[in-house]
């Protein structure tokens, strides 16, 4: 069976939906039911095009929808079920799903094989057996399920509603939340994201195979904790990577990490170097963690392929410039020194005394028009890309009012910057302060809107750009994936 | 001459003060003069106890104060001068300072030796010659000067007004802004901070010597780009480090970084391994950058010395727990597995199915009372410290409303947490989203108010705690520096 039925359900039932808040002794009062908001409200709010059915043994109403006491009571067909009831009630539900002809069952419910307990693992195996024999595919248990904006399906109410060309799959639901948010904040948009938890039925092999063929997906990312079927994984990774950039996070390398991974989804972490060579052989790009994956997705989406590794970095100087130079080189970029004559030329377009014009180029703080300087740098033959560094924490005047003023300046500068010919990106010098972090948020939003690549640190920019260049060189790719 | 006269001036003149905005073509309109706000307004707003004199050839008034046309026109004595006029006007000013019996002249003004131009270097040398022969000590040029909250002196209007026990000196003004902000956000407070730029007169040797003797300073930090007098530096570093934790940032190790450093303050960066062994020999703690310095200052200020390296990490699990384990071990901490019987005990204090209780301990999301669990972990003999990890980016519900709710829960949990016996800290799992960064800001503020050590990443926590433990073991230190 193709997974199409799961990704395009005509109706969805949310079993366990209720508006009763979950109370806990000693904690502040809650006025909402988090799981119902996450799995039911989102379908309504995002305009899921099919029928939505809340199910709960207590009946009643949720968000104006009649609550059915059982899946079997629902009058029409149900293609997809989201399960948020406790583990001990799931055997009955799986039988109901079979009886109802459900195509896909997403078990958010935890308390199965991941506990490491024999009886819980047996319970999971039972569910799989019954579901499979009845033609029901299972996602999970112990996972967040599907985010697919085109269909109005999400478990992240604040994920982007707009669709894109990037897919991401992960055993860990947390990692999907981390990655989607990190990449989305920078303008990356998604086709399909799947958190598949314990992978009792649907697993990474089937999902990668599907995404390799999926016409809506042009970039694939995956967070892997382990694999039950090594050769099968190599086969689908090779297929996926031969068609689309395929980026992999594989963690769990330290002893403590391995223990964490095994508690988490019951997967075997395996030897790190084996994973390393397996991924290389398959043609996948292995990244350190979700931050680097978001960096690469941003680069693939917004950064034209530069001719070489020579960058001009401008925006701030001083000690920050020294650090920025180090970070550029650590990531693999070169900052060629700007020749004497050109420095003199640049100096004429600027007005401050305390400027450093060798590269990094510091045009000076506050209220300057950098248009001429940027155009001159854009024409420089010996640079392959332009990096504009903002450094809110080295501005002496720092307040919400000043931030607004500086944001206005940045918007002005970004307009010119985004019109330049060379590949270009905005990078943030390390910020730690409240206002600095707010400035990062604001600038990032501006860049996402202008479709300019944004990186939260210069090292991360340099590392991602260099890995992207390596990949493009190997594959003969000339343009970003838009 | 002791530097006391510079740190305790009875009156300060700000030369170049004006309310006229500095306009730049093409940039959005400015309605303020940044330099005057930074160097004059702050003295008034922070209640500097001596007389304040604005000086400007144009005369007029600033913030209700009469503006003198020349330093010589000021009726009373002037101990300290802050210079924000252009470089070509500085020779006249230095002569005025000598004539007026000024003790310290801080030249914010840039455009001297750091330009690498012979005539500008000569100009700087001339200023030093005239100042020295006239008994005027110079700070700078090309620097931010002094931040000393006790005296109401600052160049960061949003720096803490409260005094503390930490001193920091830096050639780079940027680094003082970065470090003060990073450490202050976490509750660290300062005695004296000096940005001394080109170090034409007052340099790191004299400053470190002074701070080693300063009764208000218990921890010393310094950002060094290079040294003109190696043996002199070793001598004062050894003196300082023998009395107080002395933490050093020395950058400029890559080729581009060296070039940056030399453009910046005209210093010779020197070979990195030479610096490394020199700092070790002196007994100083060398850190990677300002973030690690802020981490160590936070640790010295708020973290009792643990008996060993065994940590319990609780708060979130899943993929985030796997990563957290890796980061702990990379930083040098051990996460001992929680034994079977104790896990069963913990399970009774919690209510969710999807919990991981082996360490990392994941007590489950939303609306829980962790009091019993925390007390049980606090009593565990096989753990030396407790780390509470917050991970706003893996909460599925993420909005400003939910953030407020979660903040309330966190405040509640922090109350219990801060009453526990073991050394304890709050750490943030990597966040990238807007709301996640806001949650970091809010939690950090709560921790600073409760005097609980806060770290923006678990790796940074582990690294700082382990380096702190090494230091304390070597020195036989038993308690944090409060």
Domain boundaries, chain A: 4-139, 164-302, 311-475
pLDDT at A234 over 90: yes
Phi, psi of A182 (to 5 degrees): -65, -45
Give the CA count within 13 Å in the CB-facing half-sphere of A341.
1
Cα A263 to the center of its chain, rounded Å: 24
- Positions of E strands within A203-327: 219-224, 246-250, 285-287, 311-314
* A433 in reach of chain B (CB within 8 A): yes
Return d(Cα A452, Cα A444) in angstroms, integer.
9
Supply B443's token pair. 């939690």
Phi/psi of residue B190, nearest 5 degrees: -115, 150
> Is the CB of B118 inside 8 Å of chain A's CB atoms?
no
Chain A residue whose CA is closest to B457: A432
Binned at pLDDT 50, 70 and 90, residue B357 comes out as confident
**In B29-103, where does DSSP find H-type helix?**
34-36, 42-45, 90-100
Q: Is residue A317 over pLDDT 90?
A: no
Which residues make beta-bridge pairs with A427? Answer: A389, A455
Chain B contacts in chain A segment 45-84 (CB below 8 A): none
pLDDT digits (tens, 9 = 90+) for B273-283: 888 999 999 99
Per CATH, the homologous superfamily of domain B161-302 is Succinyl-CoA synthetase domains (3.40.50.261)
A187-206 pLDDT, tens digit per residue, is 999 999 999 999 999 999 99
| Pairing, β A453-455 against β B11-15 | unpaired
Contact yes or no for B328/B458 (Cβ under 8 A): yes
Give residue A1's pLDDT.
61
pLDDT digits over B178-203, tens only?
999 999 999 999 999 999 999 999 99
Calculate what percentage of chain A has a pLDDT beyond 90.
73
Instruction: Provide DSSP, A335-379.
Output: -PPPPHHHHHHHHHH---SS-B-SSSBB--SSS---HHHHHHHHH
pLDDT tens digits for A62-94?
Answer: 999 999 999 999 999 999 999 999 999 999 999
| Residue range A115-124, pLDDT digits in tens | 888 999 999 9
The Cα-based distances of A115 to A144, B318, B347, B391 in angstroms read 17, 12, 12, 22
Q: What is the pLDDT of residue B362?
A: 85
Q: How does the average pLDDT of chain B come out, rounded?
A: 90
Q: Does B347 touch chain A (CB under 8 A)?
A: no
Q: Which class would CATH give A4-139? A: alpha beta
Note the pLDDT of residue B125: 97
Tell me whether residues A291 and B430 touch, CB distance under 8 A. yes
The answer to whether the beta carbons of residues A325 and A360 sit under 8 Å apart is: yes
B328 in contact with A at a CB cutoff of 8 Å?
yes
* Partner A contacted by B117 (CB < 8 A): no
Give a three-class secondary structure readout of A404-439: HHHHHHHHHHHHHHHCCCCCEEEEECCCCCHHHHHH
Q: What is the model's pLDDT at position B367?
A: 43
Average pLDDT over residues A139-151: 97
State the pLDDT at residue A351.
62
Cα–Cα distances (Å) from B8 to A102, B3, B214, in that order, read 79, 9, 13
Q: What is the pLDDT averaged over residues B37-54?
A: 97
Q: Which residues of B touch A399 (CB under 8 A)?
A: 157-158
Which tens digits make up the pLDDT trace of A405-440?
Answer: 888 889 989 999 999 999 999 999 999 999 999 999
Residue B356 · residue B321 · CB < 8 Å: yes
Q: Does B25 touch chain A (CB under 8 A)?
A: yes
- Cβ atoms of B194 and B217 within 8 Å: the answer is no
CB contact at 8 A, A444 and A278: no
Element (H, E) at A388: strand A385-390
**Are the C-beta atoms of A373 and A344 separated by less than 8 Å?**
no
Closest CA to B333 of B364, B311, B301: B311
Could you tell me which of B355, B362, B308, B317 has the C-alpha nearest to residue B336?
Answer: B308
Instruction: Please tell me if residue B119 touches chain A, with a CB cutoff of 8 Å.
Output: no
Least confident among A251-265, B411-425, B440-454, B467-481 = A251-265
CA distance B417 to B425: 9
* The pLDDT of residue A270: 63
Shortest distance, CA A438 to any CA of chain B (angstroms) = 8
**Best residue in B256, B313, B369 for a mutation probing chain A (most A CBs within 10 Å):** B256
Asked if A369 reaches chain B (Cβ–Cβ under 8 Å), the answer is yes
Q: How many CB atoms lie within 10 A of CB B278?
A: 21
Place of tokens 């309310």: B19
Q: Do B398 and A156 touch (CB under 8 A)?
A: yes
Q: Which two tokens stand for residue B266?
A: 């005209």
* Residue A200 · residue A127 · CB < 8 Å: yes
A26 and chain B in contact, CB less than 8 A? yes
pLDDT of residue A326: 87
Q: Omega before A309 cis (within 30°)?
A: no
pLDDT at residue B402, as a whole number: 83
* Sequence-ordered list of residues with C-beta below 8 angstroms from that of B254, at least 6 positions apart, any chain: A325, A326, A329, A330
Tokens linked to B93? 């000013």
The mean-pLDDT minimum among A110-114, A208-212, B74-78, B468-472 falls in A110-114
Per-residue pLDDT at A28 exceeds 70: no
Q: What is the pTM assigned to this prediction?
A: 0.93
Whether the Cβ atoms of residue B305 and residue B479 lie closer than 8 Å to each other: yes
Whether A26 shows a pLDDT value over 70: the answer reads: no
Instruction: Quote the pLDDT of residue B349.
Output: 77
Stretch among A9-18, B105-114, B359-368, B448-457 having the lowest mean pLDDT: B359-368
User: Mutate which of A360, A432, A441, A455 to disrupt the B interface (most B C-beta within 10 Å)?
Assistant: A432
List the 243-302 stretch of B: residues with Cβ below 8 A of A: 251-257, 259-261, 263-264, 289-291, 294
pLDDT at B27: 54
| pLDDT value for A414 | 95
Partners of A110 on chain B (C-beta within 8 Å) are 352-354
Query: Is A40's Cβ below 8 Å from some Cβ in B?
Result: no
Q: What is the ipTM, given to two decimal places?
A: 0.92
Residue of A nearest to B289 (CA): A323
**Domain A164-302, classified CATH 3.30.70.1140, yes or no:** no
Q: From the CA of A389, how many Å to the nearest CA of chain B?
A: 14
* Cα gap B413→B86, rounded to integer Å: 54
For residue A367, name the pLDDT band (cuts at 50, 70, 90): very low
d(CA B191, CA B178): 16
B177 and chain A in contact, CB less than 8 A: yes
Rounded CA separation B56/A205 (Å): 74
Q: Are A112 and A90 in contact (CB under 8 A)?
A: no
Q: Which two tokens stand for residue A305?
A: 């392929």
pLDDT of residue A256: 56
How many Å is the maximal CA-CA distance in chain B? 81
From the list B28, B110, B441, the residue facing A412 with the nearest CB is: B28
Measured between beta carbons, which residues in chain B are less than 8 angstroms from residue A160? none
The Cα A309–Cα A328 span in angstroms is 10
CA distances from B349 to B34, B198, B274, B313 (A): 56, 60, 55, 17
Q: Do B182 and A393 touch (CB under 8 A)?
A: yes
- Cα(A226)–Cα(A354) distance, integer angstroms: 54
Q: Which of A68, A187, A221 is closest to A426 using CA atoms?
A: A187
Secondary structure E strands in B298-394: 311-314, 385-390
CA distances from B290 to A412, B176, B202 (A): 31, 9, 23
Cβ atoms of residues A193 and A167 within 8 Å: yes
Indicate the DSSP class of residue B337. P
Q: Measuring CA to CA, which residue among B169, B214, B164, B200 is closest to residue B184? A: B164
Q: Which of residues 194-233 of A touch B (CB under 8 A)?
A: 223, 225
Mutation site, A322, A371, A417, A429, interface B, largest B CB count within 10 A: A322
Contacts of B334 in chain A (CB under 8 A): 256
Q: What number of other Cβ atoms are within 10 A of residue A340's Cβ?
A: 10
Distance of alpha carbon B134 from its chain centroid, rounded? Answer: 34
A7 has a pLDDT exceeding 50? yes
The whole-angstrom separation of Cα B196 and Cα B172 is 7
A338, closest residue in chain B (CA to CA): B259
Query: What's the CATH class of domain B311-475?
Result: alpha beta
Q: How many CA atoms lie within 13 A of B303 on its CB side?
A: 30
Are A4-139 and A311-475 in the same CATH fold? yes
How far, rounded to the nearest angstrom, does the alpha carbon of residue A246 sit from its chain's CA centroid?
13
Torsion region of A52: left, alpha or beta (phi above 0 gives left; psi -120 to 50 gives alpha)? beta
pLDDT, residue A350, reads 74
pLDDT for res A362: 84
Give the whole-number percent of chain B exceeding pLDDT 70: 90
> Which of A82, A261, A318 to mutate to test binding with chain B, by most B CBs within 10 Å of its CB?
A318
Q: Residue B324 has what pLDDT?
A: 87
CA distance readout (Å), B430 to A260, A426, B146, B458, B459: 17, 21, 34, 8, 10
* Interface contact flag, B174 A319, Cβ < 8 Å: yes
Contact A177 B396 (CB under 8 A): yes
pLDDT digits (tens, 9 = 90+) for B317-354: 667 788 888 899 999 999 999 998 998 888 887 765 55
Whether the per-residue pLDDT at A344 is higher than 50: the answer is yes
**Structure confidence by residue, pLDDT tens digits, B241-267:** 999 999 999 876 555 555 555 555 554
Mean pLDDT, chain A, whole residue set: 90
- Predicted pLDDT at A421: 96
Q: State what percent of residues in chain B have pLDDT above 90.
A: 73
Judge contact between A97 and A133, C-beta under 8 A: no
Q: Is B128 exposed, middle or buried (0-12, 13-18, 19+ CB in 10 A)?
A: middle
Per-residue pLDDT of B116-127, as tens digits, reads 889 999 999 999
Beta-carbon contacts of A139 under 8 Å, excluding residues fewer than 6 positions away, are: A6, A104, A105, A106, A107, A145, A146, A194, A196, A197, A201, A202
B198-227 residue pLDDT tens = 999 999 999 999 999 999 999 999 999 877
CA distances from A79 to A4, A10, A192, A409 (A): 11, 6, 18, 52
Task: Give a three-class secondary structure readout of B243-273.
Answer: HCCEEEEECCCCHHHHHHHHHHHCCCCCCHH
The answer to whether A423 and A309 are in contact (CB under 8 A) is no
pLDDT exceeds cutoff 80 at B411: yes
């Amino acid at each position: 069976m193709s997974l199409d039925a799961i990704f395009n359900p005509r109706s969805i039932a949310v079993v366990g939906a209720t508006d009763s808040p979950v109370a806990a002794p000693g904690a502040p009062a809650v006025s909402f039911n988090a799981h119902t908001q996450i799995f039911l409200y989102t379908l309504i709010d995002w305009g899921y095009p099919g029928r939505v059915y809340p199910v709960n043994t207590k009946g009643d109403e949720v968000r104006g929808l009649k609550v059915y006491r059982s899946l079997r009571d629902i009058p029409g067909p149900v293609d997809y079920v989201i399960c948020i009831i406790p583990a001990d009630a799931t055997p009955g539900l799986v039988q109901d799903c079979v009886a109802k002809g459900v195509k896909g069952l997403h078990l958010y419910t935890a308390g199965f094989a991941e506990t490491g307990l024999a009886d819980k693992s047996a319970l999971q195996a039972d569910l799989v057996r019954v579901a499979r024999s009845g033609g029901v595919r299972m996602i999970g248990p112990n996972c967040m399920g599907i985010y697919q904006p085109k269909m109005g399906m999400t478990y992240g109410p604040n994920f982007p509603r707009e669709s894109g060309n990037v897919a991401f799959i992960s055993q860990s639901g947390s990692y999907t939340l981390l990655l989607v948010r990190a990449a989305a904040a920078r303008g990356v948009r998604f086709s399909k994201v799947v958190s598949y938890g314990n992978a009792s039925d649907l697993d990474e092999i089937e999902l990668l195979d599907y995404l390799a063929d999926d016409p809506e997906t042009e970039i694939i990312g995956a967070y892997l904790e382990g694999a039950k079927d090594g050769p099968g994984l190599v086969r689908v990774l090779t297929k996926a990577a031969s068609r689309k950039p395929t980026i992999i996070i594989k963690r769990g390398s330290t002893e403590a990490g391995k223990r964490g991974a095994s508690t988490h989804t019951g997967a075997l972490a395996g030897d790190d170097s084996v994973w390393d060579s397996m991924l290389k052989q398959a043609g996948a790009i292995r990244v350190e963690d979700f931050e680097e994956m978001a960096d690469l997705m941003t680069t693939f989406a917004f950064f034209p392929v530069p001719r070489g590794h020579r960058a001009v970095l401008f925006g701030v100087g001083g000690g920050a410039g020294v650090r920025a130079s180090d970070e550029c080189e650590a990531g693999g970029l070169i900052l060629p020194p700007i020749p004497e004559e050109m420095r003199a030329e640049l100096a004429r377009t600027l007005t401050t005394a305390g400027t450093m014009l060798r590269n990094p180029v510091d045009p000076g703080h506050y209220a300057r028009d950098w248009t001429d300087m940027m155009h001159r740098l854009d024409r420089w033959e010996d640079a392959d890309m332009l990096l504009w560094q903002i450094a809110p924490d080295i501005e002496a005047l720092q307040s919400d009012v000043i931030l607004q003023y500086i944001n206005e300046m940045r918007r002005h500068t970004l307009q010119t910057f985004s019109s330049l010919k060379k590949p270009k990106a905005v990078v943030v010098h390390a910020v730690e302060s409240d206002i600095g972090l707010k400035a990062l948020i604001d600038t990032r939003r501006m860049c996402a809107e202008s479709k300019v690549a944004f990186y939260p640190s210069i090292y991360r920019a340099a590392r991602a750009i260099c890995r992207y260049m390596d990949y493009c060189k190997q594959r003969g790719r000339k343009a970003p994936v838009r």
